[in-house]
Structure 1
Amino acid sequence: MTRHVLALTLGDPAGIGPEITAATLARTAGADGHHGVAVGDPAALRRGVQAMGLGVEVRTVDGFDTEPAEGVIDVVDTGVLGEDVPAWGKVDARAGRAAIAAIETATRAALDGEVAGVVTSPINKEAIWAAGSAHLGHTEMLGELTGVTQQDTMFVVRNTAQEGHHLRIFFTTRHVALRTAIEQISQERVGESIRRAHTALQVFGLESPRLAVAALNPHGGENGNFGDEEIVHIGPACVAAREEGLDVSGPVPADSVFHQGLVGRYDGVLSHFHDQGHIPAKTFDFDGTISVTVGLPILRTSVDHGTAFDIAGTGQAGPGTMLSAYLAAVDYAPFVDNIRKAYAP
């Protein structure tokens, strides 16, 4: 049996990353077919184990080619903090450096084929900026490390009522003000987003994907009475995609398209701004919704929440999203060759 090895970064050691990583690896230790290895400072991971009250051993290893064992969590030491771990719940430049080092180590391992993919815990932007990083966050950092400039976010939402069906949600715009996002909507931008989403669905195992494009305005704009973006930009982009042979529906009113996707009518939905896609996904299943970075030549899944400094170190952090991100990486590990081929810089 092929065993897929995955690297799990600890994220900011002052946040909940070490706790949710420890809980995820404790639950999956010794499983058949996959092995998760933490990346970060062992002392931070041990502190996470203690906070979560886990009866597991933390074993420091030199590399990712290790033999898994029940009750044992392996960690590759990045050597930033030693035994002096920053206080819980505080922005700290040393924590930022530790988070960056873990990302760099895990990414190199994925590029070199030592691991099938990377699962990332949350980082704190202020901490990485204090450590000297100029990046806005994970995605930009990973882009520089892998040599690519175009990355997209793909949310994966599982509907357990539809066995085997995962809805993927894509985004035309990224982290910008809502007013700016609306201004960025154009036929060209929507068309490019449709094609990238369609490619991603194929890369991740769907031969003939069905993609729906959300409308921007209420009721799809009501023939221009509630806004004309559907007429001027979104509709023509959908028509052009269909003329290229893609199975694309839309624009579909946003108050129904996500439900239709969840029940199996579509494999993916292209949303146009941050909250349009985030709110339905997280309302349906906050812990089960995970993020995949599309466009990198490596597999990367992630939680889609922050460092939760307010509860860090208390053992209250729920590991559900981290576990979902890990299991999604296990599911997608067989497509690593597709990912490398499609997104090589």
Structure 2
Amino acid sequence: MKSPAEPRSTPLAPIALSMGEPAGIAPEVTLKAWAARKAETLPAFFAVGAPSLYRDLAARLMLDIPVAEISSPAEALSAFDHALPVLPIALGAPVEDGRLAPANAAAVMRAIDLACDLASSGAASALVTNPIHKRALYEAGLDVPGHTEYLAMRTGGATPVMMLSCPGLRVVPVTVHIALGAVVPTLTTNMIAEKGVILARALRRDFGITRPRIAVAGLNPHAGEEGHIGREEIEIIEPALDAIRREGAEVAGPLPPDTMFHAAARARYDAALCMYHDQALIPIKTIDFERGVNTTLGLPIIRTSPDHGTALDIAGKGIAHPGSLIEAIRLAQEIARHRAAA
């Protein structure tokens, strides 16, 4: 995966972090990301959440992290050096580490909505979403599968594409949260082409790669061995590749999935288009579990997210690792710089 040229420096608005599930590890990793801001050379960011949530947790974990309540994203720029800026959202109930409170679901959604709106208006340069607990939000009325679909609906209904990345690899799964047995009947040529085209455009616009190189995974072992162990490569995948090539991308595939992800193979492409969830996510989480990032391609706003869940079992224990959130903030800044330069 080659590194594009660094875009020219452009002043950027601060990045908005949504609160995420307050009873999970989101508040802790947000505090720790701010504490690591200098060592990690992070851009200015602010949390959209309850100031007391961060103050109380910092005190319990004995973290010397001041919290500054702000009234606008612009104030985050001056506050960021000396305190974690927080744009306030009121909670519906006290927070107990590791225990969901249904009364807080509305506050979680308000934080997402406000952070999304700030990114849409340009008051924030990007949105980084902390992990949510979907069951709690479903019970509160969320009627889409998750963050990605909700943000796509809220920003105009574009087709959202999930890209996972870590240093050295970017992957896009064509089918996502469906049972493995449903992959073959769900997978279509149009679906592969659409996601591949969105990926090619994003690699140019958001990552500054003039001629993207995309490796396309086969579905079957050995990419079907010319139809001897499956014809999906011939009948479904191959017909989609020309549409991606017409976007100016170099496309290789369908390739045997078991030989696509070693170091020498990864050096030959900028992103891999995979046919199902685990085919894409297992390599990412094997290569660098703590620094994986989820980016939503195809939205008018920039949205990244740490590639982990709420981790209710370790919430409030002081052992949550902020690496994935730090990488999500860093990647959001990189994309914002490329879009500003373009």
Q: Same fold (TM over 0.5)?
A: yes
Corresponding residue to 1:72 among 80, 83, 97: 83
- Alignment match, 2:106: 97
Whole-angstrom distance in 2 between the partners of 1:138 and 1:69 = 27
Task: Say if 1:10 and 1:18, in contact at 8 Å, map to a contact too.
Answer: yes
1:310 aligned onto 2:313: yes
Matched, 1:113 2:104: no
Matches of 1:30 and 1:117, distance apart in 2: 21
Task: Give 1:190-269 correspondences, 5 Å limit.
Answer: 190-204=192-206, 205-239=208-242, 241-242=244-245, 245-259=248-262, 263-269=266-272
The whole-number CA distance in structure 1 between the counterparts of 2:265 and 2:61 is 33
Question: Which residue of the partner structure matches residue 155 of structure 1?
Answer: 164
Contact kept in structure 2, 1:151 and 1:295, CA below 8 Å: yes
Q: CA shift at 1:244, angstroms? A: 6.5
Q: SS of 2:261's equivalent? A: helix
Within 1, Cα distance between the matches of 2:197 and 2:12?
33
| Contact 1:148–1:295, Cα closer than 8 Å, also in 2 | no
Letter in 2 for 1:68: A
User: Is this contact kept in 1: 2:303–2:332, CA < 8 A?
Assistant: yes
Question: Is the contact between residue 30 and residue 70 of structure 1 (CA under 8 Å) also seen in structure 2?
Answer: no
RMSD across aligned positions (CA) = 2.2
Specify the SS of the correspondent of 2:74.
coil
Say if 1:19 and 1:51, in contact at 8 Å, map to a contact too. Answer: no
Structure 1 pair 188/32, CA: closer, same or farther in 2 (3 Å)?
closer
Query: What is the deviation of 1:127?
Result: 1.4
1:141 to 137, 142, 150: 150
Q: What letter corresponds to residue 79 of structure 2 in structure 1?
A: P
Work out the CA distance in 2 between the residues paired with 1:280 and 1:30: 28
SS of residue paired to 1:219: helix
* Aligned-pair identity (%): 36
| Contact 2:215 2:252 (C-alpha < 8 Å) held by counterparts | yes
Q: Cα gap change, 1:88/1:337 in structure 2, threshold over 3 Å: closer, same or farther? A: same
Contact kept? 1:12, 1:98, Cα under 8 Å: no
CA 1:16–1:53: 2 relative to 1, 3 Å:
same
Secondary structure of 1:330's aligned partner: helix
Identify if the C-alpha distance between structure 1 residues 69 and 86 changes in structure 2 by more than 3 Å, giving closer, same or farther: closer
Cα distance in 1 between the residues matched to 2:69 and 2:122: 21
1:322 aligned to 320, 325, 338, which one?
325
What is the TM-score with the length of structure 2 in the denominator?
Answer: 0.90
The corresponding residue for 1:301 is 304
Q: Secondary structure at the match of 1:89?
A: coil
CA contact (8 A) 2:89 2:111 kept: yes
Deviation for aligned residue 1:43:
1.4
For residues 299 and 177 of structure 1, what CA distance do their matches in structure 2 show?
Answer: 29
Deviations 1:159-208 (A, max 9, x none): 3xxxxxxx321121121111112212222222222212111111212111
Which residue of the partner structure matches residue 169 of structure 1?
171
1:252–1:315 Cα change, 3 Å: same
3-state DSSP of counterpart to 1:34: coil
Stretches of structure 1 lacking an aligned partner (at least 5 in a row): 160-166, 340-345
Distance in 2, Cα, partners of 1:120 & 1:207:
28
Point out the more displaced range, 273-282 or 230-239: 230-239
Q: Residue 200 of structure 2 contacts residue 212 of structure 2 at CA under 8 Å; is this kept in 1?
A: yes
Q: What letter matches 2:328 in structure 1?
A: A
Quote the Cα distance in structure 1 between the aligned partners of 2:212 and 2:325.
Answer: 27
Task: Report the TM-score, using the length of structure 1 for normalisation.
Answer: 0.89
- Return the offset for 1:291: 0.8
More relative contact order, 1 or 2 (CA 8 Å, 6+ apart)? 2
How big is the shift at 1:245? 4.9
Question: Which structure 2 residue ranges, 5 or more long, are not aligned?
Answer: 1-9
Q: CA deviation at 1:217?
A: 0.7
Residue 150 of structure 1: how far off its partner (Å):
1.0
Distance 1:201 1:261, change over 3 A: farther
Residue 164 of structure 1: aligned partner? none
Q: Is the 8 A contact 1:43 1:85 kept in 2?
A: no
The residue aligned with 2:5 is none
